[in-house]
Amino acid sequence: MQIQQIRNPLKFVATILGITLVGLASAVIAGEPLEQRAQRYWTARAVNDLQTVYSLESAALPGGGLTPDQYQRVKGLPVRDVKVLETVVEGDRAKVKIQGQVAVGALGWVSQSLTEEWVLVNDEWYHLTLKP
């Protein structure tokens, strides 16, 4: 058995650390906690990032029947300053209470809170898509 000498030990360590950090980064995305995922959903809604919002909808999953074009037509009122207040997990379903500002025609920005449902599918939380 021949032991090969490492020519640049710092480069070797940096490579190993890089591989580890990449692995940790994907672990943070996969299995994202419900509160973090819900906040990401509502932040995306606030900036009109339809691709992110659509990817977090339960009906966007295979067999769910919601296409990106359909989703664009039912996207809802503009929102801002949305905060997750509380999450209650009950098995593979959860209730998430949020509070934020909603643009309501001539009334302008109105403060509103609501409780919405999320579902756990393949170890990932998805916003329960309501039928239009």
pLDDT in tens, 6-55: 565 555 444 444 443 333 333 334 679 999 999 999 999 999 999 999 99
Q: What percent of the chain has pLDDT over 70?
A: 74
Residue 54: count of CB within 10 angstroms of its CB: 20
> How many domains is the chain built from?
1
For residues 68 and 50, what is the distance between their CA atoms, to the nearest angstrom? 8
Whether 16 maps to a domain, the answer reads no
Range of the domain at 100: 34-127
Sign of the torsion formed by the C-alpha atoms of 43, 45, 46 and 47:
positive
Bridge partners of residue 104, in order along the sequence:
108
DSSP letter for each residue of 101-128: EEEEGGGEEEEEEEEEEEEEETTEEEE-
pTM of this prediction?
A: 0.73
Is residue 58 predicted with pLDDT exceeding 90?
yes
According to the model, what pLDDT value does residue 130 have? Answer: 76
Q: What is the pLDDT of residues 63-98, one digit of tens each?
A: 888 888 888 876 678 999 999 999 999 999 999 999
Q: What is the structure's pLDDT at 65?
A: 87
The answer to whether 84 and 38 are in contact (CB under 8 A) is yes
CATH number at residue 103: 3.10.450.100
